[in-house]
Amino acid sequence: MTDNAVVEQTDTNAAIAVLKEKFPDAIQDDTREGYQGIIVDKNKLVEVATAIRDELGFDYLSSATGVDYLGIGDHLEMVYHAYSTNGGPALVFKAQTPRDNAEIPSLIDVWPGADFQEREAWDLMGIRFSGHPNLKRILLWEGFNGHPLRKDWKEAYYEQDHKPFDSRWPGGHVYRAEERNVYGKNVAYPDDLDLSTLNDVSEESIYSGMGLGVSVQNLGNSEHLQTDRLIVNMGPHHPSTHGVFRMVVSLNGETIESLEPVMGYLHRNHEKIGERNTFLHNMPFTDRLDYISSMGNNHGYALAVEQLLSQGARWTPPTYRAEAIRVLMVELTRIVNHLWAIGFLLNDLGAFFTPALYAIAERERILDFFEATAGSRMMCNYMRFGGVFKDIPERIKSVANLVNDMVRDFNTMDYLTELINERLPRAVDELDQFLTDSEIIKTRTVGVGYLPPEMAIAYSAAGPLLRASGVPYDVRRADPYSIYPELDFDVAVRYNGDIYDRYLIRLDEIRESIRILKQILPRLERTHGENVFGPKQHTPRVPLGEAYGRVENPKGELGYYVVSAGDEKGPQNPWRYHVRAPSFINLTALGEMCKGHKVADVVAILGSIDIVLGETDR
């Protein structure tokens, strides 16, 4: 089912003019080199944001993140990217606050989707959001020392601000970081550490967030719990939380009264490491965000940095073949991801692993192709700024799939043609046939986990979650990139907003992806032999400025906010590297979706959002 929405795009410059007229004192243009958008006086931020949402039609808050400009203005800055669900470019607005006692009004009343993003900014950047009802640490634990994304905060294994480190290059004298640490571990304690009063408060705050007003110490005491409500911990070790995700659920009988997502169990400091890395260094790290769809992550990051590079003098955009290969890879990734998501949704419904085995069978064929092209099954590290690092090979040698100890050998184009025209459609039809009309699946999923369209937009939901609620918003069409404008495909939409529709929309999207792939094949034939990687710039000097590159990843809108600042000549390292992770922001609505359902449905609702923890926690 698809929808040809009439796209009525909003003009950003006209919108800014309207805003300036309305709030003459509170708004000024961001005139820094390479920056865009407006800087809003933080005292007027809520009013301006309300006007942006209601009067100008930028109803979708894509990203909200903080930047620490230590040494360049010495302030903290919140950067918001608002889009219209009708499509079009972003309205970027910013609010600044001094580094000491940093405080900015919370936008949670305007966009509830700012909830987790503001908590993350508090956790990592130390910006306090006045008016936020639940401002706790989200990725780290309560009691952690400091706010790590501030530029003056140094980790235990700190070596230098920027890579490549002097010790490694050019001499190559590597030592183990453990040997340089007193404790032999990745730890550092503050000077005023008092072990006598040390108690672990990381758990207590989680339960106080339930609004129960009970402390952990009193939980076992019957005097303080005079209710039938029960708190159940699901995760971080739970077979159906898709990784190390944790939900603290308050139950009345079996009905859910409230649900608090607890995350950060896979918080591996992407953004801090990303600021130490060079721009190119970050490419393999993006693979490990959404580790099921690494090609899509590569694409988003490449787009963001290419936006910056295109401002510079020495820049040649990717060739047509490079773009075609990128789309080929990304759409194959989308199929892998959706097959995986459907298989494991069935797992969550109790059909333990048999549907998943069927669903991920064809995945191996696609991974063989990735391995032959990029050298790795999952972590492809394939795209570069200005193309892809290697053309697709002439032949695929499938080492993993030995038959009679013989390595199987295929012609790549034949292999792809068979895969795209026969095997993948067959696999989708098979899933469709087995699952779509299944009585059990319908009973478990129809009407469960309903997310109305207005709420989906307000909560900044993205991807299949948003489109299954009847909002035809797909970045490939709304804010086109690469060669998508010339490709013929529809934006899949479903209207019921329940688990069943989220399952169906994934089938739809696989079919649309196959449709795109069929159009890519002749383009690959046509451009055979064309260069795929123009400028051989391995450590590019990136012009100053900011960029927000976003792609429609299988899980939703994946955005990279990259700031290039500091070095006048054009730095090699990003000043700020932020990932707008769809899995993370889609979880904001989880609590609302689960309210009133049974505890067994939580697992299925979570499965239908399709999160991956590498991206949620980063």
Partner 1 sequence: MSELDLRELNNTEFPIPADMQGNVAITSLSKLYNWSRRSSLWPMLFGLACCAIEMIATAAARYDFSRFGMEVMRASPRQSDLMIVSGTVTKKMVVPIVRLYNQMPEPKYVLAMGACASGGGPFKEGYNVVSGIDKYLPVDVYVPGCPPTPQALIYGMIALQKKIDGQSLANMDDVPWYGVGPAEPAPVPILGPDIIDPRQMDLIRRQAEMAAAGKTFAIRNLPEPIKVEKAAPKAAAAKAAVAATDDPAKAERLRKREEALARKRAAQGQNAPAAEPAGEAPTPAQAAPVAEAAPAEQGGKPKFDKEAMMAKIRAKKANKG
**Interaction between residue 54 and partner 1 (CB under 8 A):** no
Cβ atoms of 233 and 244 within 8 Å: the answer is: no
In the complex with partner 1, the residue whose CB is nearer, 171 or 220, is: 171
**Interaction between residue 268 and partner 1 (CB under 8 A):** yes
**Interaction between residue 377 and partner 1 (CB under 8 A):** yes
What SS3 state is found at 437?
coil
Residue with tokens 């129960």: 212
Which CA distances in Å does 49 have to 27, 106, 107, 222, 351?
A: 12, 10, 8, 47, 45
**Contacts to partner 1 from residues 306-365, by CB under 8 A:** 353, 356-357, 360-361, 363-364
CA distance 127 to 75: 11
Instruction: Name the segment binding partner 1 (CB under 8 A); options: 173-181, 418-426, 452-460, 583-591.
Output: 173-181
**Interaction between residue 243 and partner 1 (CB under 8 A):** yes
CB 268 → partner 1: shortest distance, Å?
4
146 Rama class: left (phi>0) / alpha (psi -120 to 50) / beta: left
CB 575: neighbour CB atoms within 10 A? 21
CB 109 → partner 1: shortest distance, Å?
30
Q: Among 473, 429, 388, 455, which residue's Cα sits nearest to residue 592? A: 455
CB 295 → partner 1: shortest distance, Å?
14
CB 123 → partner 1: shortest distance, Å?
11
Strand ranges (E), 164-286: 229-234, 246-252, 255-262
**Contacts to partner 1 from residues 144-163, by CB under 8 A:** 144-145, 148, 154-159
Cβ atoms of 610 and 342 within 8 Å: the answer is: no
**Contacts to partner 1 from residues 383-412, by CB under 8 A:** 400-401
In the complex with partner 1, the residue whose CB is nearer, 137 or 477, is: 137
Window 108-147: contact mask with partner 1 (x via CB under 8 A): -------------------------------xxx-xxx--
**Contacts to partner 1 from residues 411-450, by CB under 8 A:** none
Number of residues this chain uses to bind partner 1 (CB under 8 A): 74
Return the axis-axis angle of helices 320-348 and 424-435, rounded to nearest 10°. 20
CB 262 → partner 1: shortest distance, Å?
10
Which CA distances in Å does 184 have to 153, 161, 179, 194?
A: 20, 22, 6, 21
Instruction: Name the segment binding partner 1 (CB under 8 A); options: 77-85, 91-99, 237-245, 509-517.
Output: 237-245
Token readout for 109 is 């009343």
Instruction: Name the segment binding partner 1 (CB under 8 A); options: 191-199, 515-523, 531-539, 567-575.
Output: 191-199
Q: Return the C-alpha torsion angle 570, 572, 576, 577, nearest 10.
A: 130
CB 366 → partner 1: shortest distance, Å?
12
Cβ atoms of 70 and 151 within 8 Å: the answer is: yes
**Interaction between residue 299 and partner 1 (CB under 8 A):** no
Q: Binding residue for partner 1 (CB under 8 A) from 4, 28, 43, 167?
A: 167
CB 258 → partner 1: shortest distance, Å?
22
